Structure 1
Amino acid sequence: MKSANKGKKLAMKMIIALVCGLIVGFGCILLRENLIANGQSETWTTINNIFFQDITVEGATSAIGIFYIIGQLFVNSLQLIIVPMVFVSIALAICVITDTKKLGRISSKTILTFFITTICALIFAGIIGALVYQTGAFNAVNASDIVIKEGTVGTNPLAIILSIVPNNFISALTNNGGVLAIVFLAVSVGLAMNQLKDKTKTIKKLFIELSDIISVCLSFIINKFAPYAIFCLLTRTFAAYGIDYLKPALAYVITVLIALFVYLIIAYPIYIMVMAKLSPKPFMKKIAKVALFGFSTSSSAATLPLNKQTTVDEMGVSEQIASFTLPLGMTINMDGTAIMQVIAAIFVAASSGYDVTFTSMAIIAVLALIASIGTPAAPGAGAVILFTILTGMGYTNDAALLSYSLILAINRPIEMLVTSLNVVGDSSTSIIVAKKENMLDEDLYHR
């Protein structure tokens, strides 16, 4: 009951921070447009330098960037703990399961659920993208004055397989972007500890103590600083966007946002009802703050600590299940990313003169499935990985590059909602697997 009350208080604080951040952020958009329209762009530049400027970019030596510093310090503090948390939680979850058949069931059910939900997301995105494509709305983009963004390189989607097994243990643990490698190492160490049993009781005790330390640190960071950081992150995100950025691709933005929101509020309750045979109301109520947190940080990795805390302490999922499914889901379960990438690829194809057929959409879906698995759990990663799909489809003419550059310029607000879907999907899978394995405290779930 105590954890549930804490969760409700934190959720309320986050909602207040979200609303205030959106109000102030949109107010900044209006202020920016008004100042620029009246020839006072220097005034806005001064405001931007004081509050919102990224102080790490070239030419920002005199900027203060108050909101940027607060938001980035918060996100960095969460990302600092990602590697040890993922490694320790997965290794512990595996080493304490003495029944190897049970471990196999949990693994297979988790991966199968991820696969089913992602396939459903791809089909849904394909239908929405095709419907909007047929209206001709995606053809209306005028990308003639967009500056091409440099530094994005297409790669073979199958290259993600190579990143699963690292060639250096230490370097793998120092790279936040290589979560697949960390998962592989954690599973390997956990299986070895499971096999050796009492011979590894010392390192098992060390892992348990590390897990307790991580939990205390994360609870302090999330409960004390999250609402303030959310306000700063949201305000800065929207203050950085002018209306001119959104107009050229308004059809794309509206289509993706509607598709993501509909999938969020309809698909996951259905999954909970059908696959877990539970009422979705408690889930949607308790997961709301996790979705808001993911929306604010735009990072599945940064949201993982709160997601685990909520899934275990408020929804009654066994620690063993959550410690395995949530870090794995953060790595390979990307429903929101898949939806965004399919619609974005159709948008780029339509706006740059390529025909979109059923076959091409099927290929886009397959590439999106592979690419989403390899998408790092970090802000903006989905839009960058999108280039892999475009090159795989051959969408590489000048118009396609211009349209892709437009997506890079405006995709941050979309990535925020994408992250909400990704983290909610991870939690729903944990509940589904826990229910099937009789490792769900249903009284706590319904409380």
Structure 2
Amino acid sequence: MAIALILGLIAGTSFILLRESLISNGDLDTWTLINNLLFQDISKPEANKAIGIFYIVGQLFINSLQLVIVPMVFTSITLAMCNISDTKKLGRISYKTILGFLASSIFALVLAGIFGLTAHKMGLFNVNIDNIASSEGTTGSNPLLVFVQAIPNNIGSVFSENGRVLSIVFLASITGICINTLGNQILVLKNILQDINKIITTFLTFVITKFGPIAIFVLITRTFAIYGVDHLKPALAYVFTATIALLIFLSFGYALFIYISTGLNPVKFIKKITKVALFGFSTSSSAATLPLNTKTIVEELGVNEEIASFTLPLGMTINMNGTAIMQVIAAIFIASSAGYEITVGNILIIALLALIASIGTPAAPGAGAIILFTVLTGMGYNNDAAVLAYSLILAINRPIEMLVTSLNVVGDAATAVYVSKSENNLNEEIYKA
């Protein structure tokens, strides 16, 4: 991914210089030929004879990611609810776990909203995309209608659209609870959902690791060649803003959470969990980090093994603080660059949608940027400029996703410590060692 990003920057810059050189020398026809061959959006009416190789490859990548949004959210939340509703043995632990996840998520979203709004007010996210957007976008309807549509009146319409995330959450929650209530009577459907979820995770991993580097190169190169350096500046502002917010929450947010919720020395937690954060950063996968995370919190932080075995897998599915921070800042960046109005009220809706959408994000590399699409469609951010900005996020988001994974896995560990402490079975001698 890093190599593809660097090569894309080099190739894109070369095409910028080539374009400027050809145009300044009056050779516009040559640049038009190159543009039609490599970069032209072939969906435009005026591009019926263009080839647009880079455009085609980029769209195939984006489409392949968006393809799995609905089944990914539905299966992840349904299976999570099957575990959450296990009230016979872990009812109290379930309640405390969800409370811990929710508390840390609220702090994370507040921080993301502050950083995103500050960057917007400072003009860091402003960009003019004159080539494809001639007017400001509008949402077209009240964003609160998203909540009215939470309970659908037609199940078919929910599964045929990527923007009905609240409806998907509702249906998945109800399905998961009912499966758990019926127990052994619904083994077949539960196994099918587990198999589908595994298929989706495998597919995403393949797309991100195999197709991803090529797509990153193509998207970055095309962005530079078509829209120039001016559009990379706000993208870098997004990366910088998101990175600072994520690092602050990783370094201080969880330490504060540990201190407030348990009264324990947070420095001990930070020191021992650092290797888990670094492993999550390198793999960009919560699932791959789960074994090390479990071993660390049990053997070095004194968490009860039963609590660890319940909290960490559940958190891997529904506790996505880093993902929520990234999605809020990315949504504000996209809305700002696409000409939509940014208000505190809109940010609150974005934050709530990001919180709900992040619950359905699987523990696979790059999944957070995919789920971001549901936040954008839920807010009505869907003009051409917003689609371009979203594509740019997909192209440059790999380093952010790596840092996001670190936050997610550390958040799971912090919640496990809190739950174990509240249940009076945390081995504090091990924790303090």
Instruction: Compute the TM-score of the two structures, normalised by the length of structure 1.
Output: 0.67
Q: 1:228 corresponds to which residue?
A: 214
Is 2:115 the partner of 1:124? yes
Q: 1:355 corresponds to which residue?
A: none
Structure 1 residues 66-85: aligned runs within 5 Å: 66-85=53-72
**Quick one: structure 1 residues 67 and 113, their matched pair in 2 at CA, closer, same or farther if it must change by over 3 Å?**
same
Q: 2:177 corresponds to which residue?
A: 191
Q: 1:323 corresponds to which residue?
A: 317
SS in 2 for 1:278: helix
Q: 1:337 corresponds to which residue?
A: 330
Q: Deviations over 1:284-318 (max 9, x none)?
A: 6445568xxxxxxxxxxxxxxx7554554775583
Which residue among 209, 216, 226 is the counterpart of 2:195? 209
Which residue among 109, 119, 124 is the counterpart of 2:100? 109
Query: 1:196: Cα distance to partner?
Result: 1.8
Task: Indicate the larger mover: 412-421 or 428-437.
Answer: 412-421
Query: 1:217: Cα distance to partner?
Result: 3.1
Q: 1:182 corresponds to which residue?
A: 168
Structure 1 residues 34-45: aligned runs within 5 Å: 34-45=21-32
Q: 1:356 corresponds to which residue?
A: none
Q: 1:301 corresponds to which residue?
A: none
Q: Deviations over 1:55-78 (max 9, x none)?
A: 222222111121222222222223
CA contact (8 A) 1:332 1:374 kept: no
SS in 1 for 2:40: coil
CA distance in 2, matches of 1:152, 1:310: 41
**Quick one: structure 1 residues 83 and 381, their matched pair in 2 at CA, closer, same or farther if it must change by over 3 Å?**
closer
Q: 2:410 corresponds to which residue?
A: 431
SS in 2 for 1:63: coil
CA distance in 1, matches of 2:129, 2:79: 51
For this pair of structures, how many residues does the alignment match?
Answer: 373
Instruction: Compute the TM-score of the two structures, normalised by the length of structure 2.
Output: 0.69
- Code of the residue aligned with 2:66 in structure 1: it is Q
SS in 1 for 2:270: coil
CA contact (8 A) 2:353 2:375 kept: no
**Quick one: structure 1 residues 144 and 428, their matched pair in 2 at CA, closer, same or farther if it must change by over 3 Å?**
closer
CA contact (8 A) 1:125 1:339 kept: yes
Q: 1:48 corresponds to which residue?
A: 35
Query: 1:231: Cα distance to partner?
Result: 1.6
Q: Deviations over 1:264-284 (max 9, x none)?
A: 444434334444633475466
Q: Deviations over 1:168-188 (max 9, x none)?
A: 222212222222221221111
Structure 1 residues 7-406: aligned runs within 5 Å: 14-97=1-84, 98=86, 99-127=90-118, 132=122, 148-149=134-135, 152-242=138-228, 258-275=240-257, 277-279=269-271, 281-282=274-275, 285-288=278-281, 307=285, 309-310=287-288, 312=290, 318-326=312-320, 334-337=327-330, 340=333, 364-374=343-353, 377-378=371-372, 385=379
CA contact (8 A) 1:146 1:406 kept: yes
Q: 1:296 corresponds to which residue?
A: none
- Code of the residue aligned with 1:116 in structure 2: it is F
Query: 1:190: Cα distance to partner?
Result: 0.8
Query: 1:18: Cα distance to partner?
Result: 1.5
SS in 1 for 2:153: coil
Unaligned runs of at least 5 residues, structure 2: 259-268, 295-310, 358-370, 421-433
CA contact (8 A) 1:172 1:181 kept: yes
Q: What's the RMSD between the two structures over aligned residues?
A: 4.5
Query: 1:426: Cα distance to partner?
Result: 7.0
CA distance in 2, matches of 1:101, 1:260: 35
CA distance in 2, matches of 1:47, 1:337: 32
- Code of the residue aligned with 2:330 in structure 1: it is T
CA distance in 2, matches of 1:283, 1:93: 23
CA contact (8 A) 1:71 1:232 kept: yes
SS in 1 for 2:45: coil
SS in 1 for 2:47: coil
- Code of the residue aligned with 2:107 in structure 1: it is I
CA contact (8 A) 2:41 2:47 kept: yes
SS in 2 for 1:171: helix
Q: 2:300 corresponds to which residue?
A: none
- Code of the residue aligned with 1:278 in structure 2: it is I
- Code of the residue aligned with 1:114 in structure 2: it is S
Q: Deviations over 1:114-160 (max 9, x none)?
A: 22111122233455566x48xxx999x99999973366344323222
- Code of the residue aligned with 1:323 in structure 2: it is T
Query: 1:19: Cα distance to partner?
Result: 1.3
